[in-house]
Structure 1
Amino acid sequence: MAAASGMIMQNIFIAKQYQKNSHFVNRYRMGCSSPYVSSMLPFQGGKFAWDGTTSMQLVNVSKYQRTSVNRGLVLCNAAPSAAVPTLEKADFLKLQNGSDIRGVAVAGVEGEPVNLTEPVTEAIAAAFAAWLKDKKKEEASRHLSISIGHDSRISAQTLQDAVSRGISSVGVDVIQYGLASTPAMFNSTLTEDDAFLCPVDGSIMITASHLPYNRNGFKFFTSAGGLGKADIKDILELAADIFKNSSVEAYARNKASASVKRVDYMTVYTSNLVKAVRRAAGNIEKPLEGFHIVVDAGNGAGGFFAAKVLEPLGAITSGSQFLEPDGLFPNHIPNPEDKVAMKAITQAVLDNEADLGIIFDTDVDRSAAVDSAGREFNRNRLIALMSAIVLEEHPGTTIVTDSVTSDGLTTFIEKKLGGKHRRFKRGYKNVIDEAIRLNSTGEESHLAIETSGHGALKENHWLDDGAYLMVKVLNKLASARASGAGGGSRVLTDLVEGLEEAAVAVELRLKINQSHSDLKGGSFRDYGEAVLKHLE
């Protein structure tokens, strides 16, 4: 067998081996060891033949935990080396997805090689910690801390450990929250509570939203909010440099030395949501008493909402479904835009004769609702509902949305509600940043919301929080009852009366051929931005 740089154990994961185990998806559950690439160093570049598969790139690995899938083990007779195999800066930059980082963390899906390995993750986390230290260099005498949370994905624990090691390697304290929501992670940078080691200086959420089980990624926060595209690019470039200068020995040393603290921060976050509803109802202890509300968490991180938010407020939550975290998402994609997901929560409302249904995406930064008659509040209807609620509180304010909203929504906001509608570039961070910009110019804006269900309010630090959006909806129910209006979710339906909707709405997402000659070797994003610039 040919030699490769580094006298270390080689593990090969071949898609054929996954395919041999035809029952893998049905058999695997959260309690088992998962098939993600553990302790894996990036692609070595040496090519070998094994198990009938030729020209297969090997992956360097110092240790791999046993999984429920078949695997091959190859011992390489190579000269020792302290060098970590090289990834180009461009490989790191490919992980950028707007203001997030996303990649493949679990092997086994044909055509989707793992690129979010543990060493890559360590480098990214170390880069964020170093970036944060640079931003806070005037506070150099103080020890910084970063909180880490994750959704229900099967690669979450391994990536959480790798993130912890990367942060620790830069001399920043690590605080793990375990299963958490994205909005809670941002809130941890704002909460002032020494008992929960808050506020933290920065926060990382390990999530890939509604993407398939083999994907994962990161969202980053400071007290100023989520990081923007330029910050993510800087962090990935720094991560590439850190990775390039790493060694196998340093990787092993980080793995042995990382220490963390663990905090149940979700207790704080859910308590604040409960208090917000009680305040809106005049400080009544159980303002939702008698309301029957079902929750569909899609086996993501949002299952807490039923027991930790609704029940303390007096709501009946029987009939709630898919509250248990399961990173294979066996019931439906946790996505408020998905027709199957919306059909599931609608059916749950009708079957249980509930007053309201609430559905979240995987990491709870998006949400939607269903009224007692099965009418959906998502996409344009969710924007209309939130606009009506916000414009009651802030007459005349500007509602910022993404560009794919309907003309009927514009008419509803401006003619029926008396507000202003500002359409802007798609992307939740783009919409939020535009609302912030408008306020800075003197134009009042209190809501930035996408058709995807990302909604951010000025009163909530411009955080896109699916749970907080639903709290605003619950506030409306509770305050209507307190004022004697009652009517259940009919109160919400009445708020969107007059919204003109298209008989049929179809959204097509086209696959881009990145090798097309028109791109001239660049990315489609660069090409698209050049076209938009030309049209200005």
Structure 2
Amino acid sequence: MIEPQVFKANDLRGLVRGEHPEWDADGARAIGAAFARALDLAGQEFVLGRDMRAGGRELSRAFAEGAMRLGANPVEVGLVSTDELWYASGATGLAGVQFTASHNPSAYNGIKFCLPQAAPITPELMARIKQLSFTGLPSAPIPGTPRQADMLAGYVAHLHGLVDLSGIRPLRVVVDAGNGMAGLITPAVFAGLPVEVIGLYLDLDGDFPNHPPNPLEPANLVDAQAAVREHRADLGLVFDGDADRCFIIDQAGEVVSPSVLTALIARAELAREPGAVVVVNTITSTGVAEVIEEAGGRLVVGPVGHTHLKALMGRYHAIFGGEHSGHYYFRELWGADSGMLAALHVLSLVGHGAEPMSALARTVPHYPGSGELNAAVADPQAVMRQVAAEFAGEGAVSYEDGLMVRGDGWWVSVRASNTEPLLRLNVEAGDIGTMTRMRDRALAIIEESND
């Protein structure tokens, strides 16, 4: 069983539990066959991984059965973080499939796909997989066969080869895995480093009993903030469910904006390759652009979403990329995103200096922002038009990535989520008063649309 709405532009997500599940093992089997046909994998291998979500084992096995029926040979890498799956694809040169619903609630599961070398799947290919999933495909003359592979040691060695961690001072670090995949990979990645880990929710549990696996929501950061203060830690790391995103807490227990971290890592990467391209999305803080310019880099701006950013990383051979959602992309990881590699960069930045995380953050120009505010609305496009009318004549309007209005020292972004039925509002300005006024005007329109 598969409901058409589980297919998104670049991945698949839908309910697998509850009163109205949207896909099941039979659906996964059909999707596996469709994937093998769409990529013409008869006689070819692909890497297949999963996170700790309930039902992931059964769904991924069914997917493998469907792909094998069409002649494809799955390389089963078992429980992996999504960035470990990207590594597996890059290291083997094979297409990849990861069963995960990232930060969605526990009743969801999903699939992220990539082409060989961790290249992003295209919307056109995703549409082809969707079409074939509802088509009865004939079996291949020779069915595929699976094999198992353990990628963890290679993944750890690859990450350690990308960041200078030699000679860092001893650090005390809170790690909140949120019962997600970071609980499995952190001990392996941090082994041998002078890092004392204070672990929160490291046990794998796809029901997420302690808090939802979405660090973009402030409520999901409070446990790590409290632990940093209680243990007088140097910093905190909070990962999402599949560990491809990481949020940073400074030594005072305050959240470090992902835009700030983007600027700090970009500055470090540009120091080793001046003039390189750095990719960001449309709602990254203005301060990031200023840091990249000062560091002699070239800025490329693209739409929000990991598939868009990965594509731009490849197109411009960018050295690094960052998003407000905590996704960080690295050329030497085949342009893919990795929360754990971003965390190692933070350990390097803090561990090689005497200044605390908060002092490093203050080197990035600060612009007051609203943070991401989400609302469910019946007609997102109508709301965007109303917000555009509200600010008519005050700024330049564009629709390249939802709605963006840029005025004198401020911007307002309203866009539909790529992964959830939500409208997302982000506002930034040069001062708190302007930001608050612009935010409240846009919020009033969004809230009125639900009256």
Query: How high is the TM-score relative to the length of structure 1?
Result: 0.65
2:11 to 97, 100, 108: 100
Deviation at 1:270, TM superposition (A): 2.3
Counterparts of 1:352 and 1:517, CA distance in 2: 49
Structure 2 residue 241 is the aligned partner of structure 1 residue 241:
no
1:450 is matched with 323
Q: State the Cα distance separating 1:117 from its structure 2 match.
A: 1.4
Whole-angstrom distance in 2 between the partners of 1:214 and 1:117? 12
Which of 17, 29, 34 aligns to 1:127? It is 34
Query: 2:25 — aligned with what?
Result: 118
Moved more, 162-171 or 466-475: 466-475
Displaced runs of 4 or more, over 6 A? 515-519, 528-532
% identical aligned pairs: 26
- Which residue does 1:35 correspond to in 2? none
Deviation at 1:419, TM superposition (A): 3.3
CA 1:97–1:263 in 2, change beyond 3 Å: closer, same or farther?
Answer: same
Cα distance between partner residues in 2 of 1:343 and 1:518: 32
Pair 117,417 (structure 1): closer, same or farther in 2 beyond 3 Å: same
* Aligned 8 A contact 1:388 1:496 in 2: no
Equivalent of residue 363 in structure 1, options 233, 242, 260: 242
CA 1:512–1:229 in 2, change beyond 3 Å: closer, same or farther? Answer: farther
SS where residue 298 of structure 1 aligns?
coil
Select the residue among 407, 410, 417 that pairs with 2:289. Answer: 410
User: 5 Å matches for 1:275-290?
Assistant: 275-277=161-163, 280-281=164-165, 284=166, 287-288=167-168, 290=170
In the TM superposition, residue 308 of structure 1 has moved relative to its aligned partner by: 0.9
1:474 to 1:498, Cα distance in 2 relative to 1, 3 A: closer
* Displacement of 1:327: 0.6
Q: Deviations over 1:14-60 (max 9, x none)?
A: xxxxxxxxxxxxxxxxxxxxxxxxxxxx3xxxxxxxxxxxxxxxxxx
Alignment: residue pair count = 385
Question: In structure 2, do the counterparts of structure 1 residues 518 and 385 end up closer, same or farther at CA, with 3 Å as the change threshold?
Answer: closer
Are 2:279 and 1:380 aligned?
no
* C-alpha deviation, 1:276, in angstroms: 4.2
Aligned-partner Cα distance in 2 for 1:426–1:531:
9
**How many angstroms apart in 2 are the aligned matches of 1:331 and 1:150?**
21
Match of 1:150 in 2: 50
User: Would you say the 8 A contact 2:181–2:204 is kept in 1?
Assistant: yes
CA change 1:106–1:288 in 2 (3 A) is farther
Measured in 2, the distance between the counterparts of 1:403 and 1:516 equals 18
Shift of 1:433: 1.9
| Distance of 1:450 and 1:153 partners within structure 2 | 25
Distance 1:269 1:204, change over 3 A: same
Residues 161 and 475 of structure 1, relative CA distance in 2, 3 Å threshold? same
Q: What CA distance in whole angstroms lies between the structure 1 residues aligned with 2:402 and 2:286?
A: 24
Cα distance in structure 2, aligned partners of 1:391 and 1:517:
42
1:436 maps to 2:302: no
Q: 1:405 and 1:352 mapped to 2: Cα distance?
A: 32
Equivalent residues of 1:400, 1:447 under 8 A apart:
yes
Q: Are 2:91 and 1:226 equivalent residues in the alignment?
A: no
In structure 2, C-alpha distance between the alignment counterparts of 1:168 and 1:433, rounded to whole Å = 29
**Does the 8 Å CA contact 1:455/1:464 hold for their aligned counterparts?**
yes
Matched, 1:470 2:335: no
Residue 391 of structure 1 aligns to a residue in which SS? helix
Matching residue of 1:299 = 179
Task: String of CA shifts for 1:304-338, please: whole Å, max 9, x gaps.
Answer: 34321213223211x21111111111111222312
**Contact 1:303-1:322 within 8 A present in 2 as well:** yes
Structure 1 counterpart of 2:305: 427
1:230 is displaced (CA, Å) by 1.8
> Cα gap change, 1:495/1:399 in structure 2, threshold over 3 Å: closer, same or farther?
farther
Compared with structure 1, are the counterparts of its residues 331 and 184 closer, same or farther at alpha carbon in structure 2 (3 Å cutoff)? same
Q: What SS class does the counterpart of residue 230 from structure 1 fall into?
A: helix
Does structure 2 retain, via aligned residues, the 8 Å contact 1:189–1:201?
Answer: yes
1:507 equivalent in structure 2: 372
Write the distance in 1 (CA, Å) between the matches of 2:285 and 2:193.
35
Structure 1 residue 303 displacement after superposition: 1.0
Measured in 1, the distance between the counterparts of 2:86 and 2:184 equals 17
Bigger mean CA offset, 375-384 vs 497-506: 497-506
Structure 1 distance, partners of 2:168, 2:290, is 33
2:78 matches 1:213 = no
Secondary structure of the 2:60 match is helix
C-alpha distance in 1 between matches for 2:177 and 2:382: 43
Aligned partners of 1:413 and 1:258: how far apart in 2? 48
2:87 aligned with 1:201? no
